[in-house]
Amino acid sequence: MKRFLSGVLVSGISIAAFAQQKEIELDPITITATLTPKSISTTGRNIILIKGDQINKLPVNSVDELIRYLPGVEVQSRGPMGAQSNITIRGGTFQQVLVILDGIRLNDPLSGHFNSYIPISPAEIDRIEILKGASSAVYGTEAVGGVVHIITKTFAAQKGKQQQKLTAQATAGEYGLRNAQAGFSWQKNKTAVAGGLLQNAADGQPLRGTNGFFNLTTLSISAKHFFNDRISVAYRTAYDDRNFNAQNFYTNIITDSATERVITRWHHLNFTYLNKKHRFSFDAGAKDASDKYQFRKSAVANTNRSNNYQALAIYNYTVNQQSAVTVGAQVMERSVKSNNRGNHSITSTGLFVILQQQIGEHFHLSPSARVDWNERAGWELIPQLNLSYRYQKLQLRGSAGRSTRDADFTERFNNYQPATVAAGNRIGNPDLQAEQAFSYEAGADYFFMKELKVSAGWFQRFHNGLIDYVSTPYSNMPRQVNLVPGATYSLAKNINRVNTKGIETDIQYNKSFSTNHSLVAAIGFVWIKSKSSDSIPSLYVSNHAKFLTNFTLQYRYKFLSIALNGLYKQRRPQTGNPAFVPVSKDYFLMNARLEGHFMENKLGLFVQADNVFNRRYSDILGTVMPNRWLMGGVRITL
């Protein structure tokens, strides 16, 4: 309770002093909800947006750490600074959040655990948009709990702009921490180029018989060229290499001393045609990921290779100022080659239409529908309706629709190839059916003044056949070929029904007092309750937060600035944990950063403390997270 009161106190301070720099808006333009630019207040959805330039001003070391402290988003971390995280929104599982980069899907077909491996350097990010709630009618499978959309500077570039920017940051700290960030963005008239590097490495804090080392590197570069006022082409390539200690990432076995390395290669090509009323875009994406997981040095490593090839075509016609129609088609081929899961592939296709209609001066209506087909589930119709009404300072919004998610290759085939699988391991199920859900939400936003926005809403989701791991004895296992008689395993199953409901509140208050006097903050509160028809609790559904508050704060006065991130989480106690795992029913975390700005803001010197109060905790069953971590560094902006 003391931790909760501390969290509320710090959050209250954040709200009371809340102000912001000029580039942050309370009702910015978004493309995530409807695939075309619209003010957030007209979409009927709850969307949180943060500018990329804010990332290096906060006490975070990776993109997933930034997302962890955004209002209403829960990130369940296995390792620090980007080693591995599960992103959940509105009480869903981590596979029920879709991560996209410039409109193209990043979710990995092997496992949802890799979805937070975003192959982009922070220097390239223009903004991050978080859409809360179902959006399968637009994006298809996995957009159940929400969408995380990263938009980059190059792909967002507009013709005729002029800019040059170079940033670099170096950090050193305890436990052999070495962090380096560098990036540039350049545009002159018709051509824009950007690129960057992010590296986090450390010997790591002590774990059970080993250290939690990590060596994480991301390289990305992109370019865009405008051939004329109507036609542009953009291309990105990226390389992401993550090598880390994975002790108890996937098991609670005491002999687990695992290591893992995941290498991702990413390519994205975009063609856009635009005139007054017509807009056509074509995107082609290719993702190649290789994963090597070794339970201990003497064990045979699991080697997995996954691919995701996709193409997306979108046509938008603006009828008039009140009406617009968007139609699109998407094709994906996903595959895996694995010595643990075998070799498999699946092809899917989606067709969708979105109508945007303004009725009168204040009312906006946006119905959408998608037809999906894949080799396993066949045809599915996915409709959705979004409503928005804005009158002066009050914004009312609502949404209702279906969502769906097909099982990934790990859920279907995990541990099917080994000769013998020891007790306690997770076992795949090839007979899994696609999840089905119906969601609705209603909310309101109130703009008290230019600087303050308060949002509140209610949501509910009715799930049929939700996929999760359930403790199952050998006698009830559908396949027993390589299992140990009398043992108990975690079997991937379709749970009959899971109903989730919740209340969420977001508060933003933005203002700049002067050029070097500002304060930036945001806070979110979420209460969630999930009820399952199964008497035995499943792994991930039972792990989500029942109550979550998270916040960010940045205050600057003249040459000095302070930034805070924090969260308080309360959840259902987990059972079956061995004694060496610190089980946390609730916990409060806070990171802090103090920075001095010199040479007309071109030079910054900072000190930072992660987990300021030295809280020992576990986010996921089996995984010990770091205690307090001290560091400092220098940042250069030209």
Q: For 594-606, how does the pLDDT look when each residue is reduced to its tens digit (9 = 90+)?
A: 999 999 889 999 9
> How confident is residue 618, by pLDDT bands cut at 50, 70 and 90?
confident
Distance from C-alpha of 373 to C-alpha of 376, rounded to nearest angstrom: 9
C-alpha span between 96 and 407 (Å, rounded):
10
- Return the pLDDT at 94: 86
Residue 30 has pLDDT above 70, yes or no: yes
Indicate the number of domains in the chain.
1
Strands 586-598 and 560-571: antiparallel
Other CB atoms within 10 A of residue 272 CB:
18
- Provide the pLDDT for residue 53: 80
Spatial distance between the Cα atoms of 26 and 134, rounded to a whole number of angstroms: 23
Q: Name the DSSP letter for residue 575.
A: -
Is 261:114 a contact under the CB 8 Å cutoff?
A: no
pLDDT band at 7 (very low <50, low <70, confident <90, very high): very low
**3 state DSSP class of 53:** helix
Is 99's pLDDT higher than 90? Answer: yes
Question: pLDDT band at 5, cuts 50/70/90?
Answer: very low
- The first and second tokens of residue 129, run together, are 């948009």
Position 20 scores a pLDDT of 36
**Of the candidates 471, 592, 618, 617, which has an alpha carbon nearest to the alpha carbon of residue 541?**
471
Quick one: DSSP state of residue 108?
Answer: -
Assign 573 a pLDDT band (cuts: 50, 70, 90).
Answer: low
Question: Is pLDDT above 90 for 266?
Answer: yes
187-205 pLDDT tens trace: 998 999 999 999 999 999 9
> What is the pLDDT, as a whole number, of residue 574?
61
pLDDT exceeds 50 at position 17: no
Q: Which residue has the higher pLDDT, 578 or 185?
A: 185
Q: What is the pLDDT of residue 36?
A: 87
Q: Which residue has the tokens 């003010």?
A: 39
Q: Which of the four pLDDT bands, split at 50, 70 and 90, describes residue 21?
A: very low
Task: List 195's β-bridge partners, or say none.
Answer: 184, 221
| Residue-level pLDDT at 429 | 95
Find the helix or strand (DSSP H, E) in which 595 lies.
strand 586-598
User: In the structure, what pLDDT confidence band is assigned to residue 10 with cuts at 50, 70 and 90?
Assistant: very low
pLDDT band at 25 (very low <50, low <70, confident <90, very high): low
Q: Higher model confidence: residue 100 or residue 531?
A: 100
- pLDDT range class, residue 6, cuts 50, 70, 90: very low
Q: What CA–CA distance (Å, rounded) separates 370 from 368?
A: 7
pLDDT in tens, 193-250: 999 999 999 999 999 889 999 999 999 999 999 999 999 999 999 999 999 999 988 8
Instruction: Assign 506 to helix, strand or coil.
Output: strand
Average pLDDT along the chain? 89
Amino acid in the structure at residue 332: M
Q: Which residues does residue 239 pair with via DSSP β-bridges, in sequence order?
A: 219, 265
Containing structural domain, residue 98: 2-637
> Mind listing the pLDDT tens digit for each residue in 419-433?
999 888 899 999 999
CATH number at residue 566: 2.40.170.20
Contact 358, 323 (CB under 8 A): yes
Helix (H, G, I), strand (E, B) or coil at 8: helix
536 compared with 378, residue with greater pLDDT: 378
3-state secondary structure of 259: strand
Of 361, 364, 294, residue with least CA distance to 323 = 364
Q: Which positions ≥6 away from 117 have C-beta within 8 Å?
A: 82, 106, 108, 240, 242, 262, 264, 289
Structure tokens at 480: 């027993």
- Residue matched to tokens 């079997």: 491
Check residue 549 and give its pLDDT. 95
Percent of all residues in the chain with a pLDDT value above 70, rounded to a whole number? 93
**CA atoms within 13 Å, Cβ hemisphere of 619:** 23
pLDDT of residue 535: 63
449 against 411, higher pLDDT: 411
Confidence of residue 450 (pLDDT cuts 50, 70, 90): confident
Tell the residue number behind the tokens 């298809």, with chain if given.
Answer: 140
More confident residue, 450 or 217: 217
**CA gap 551, 14 in Å, rounded:** 8
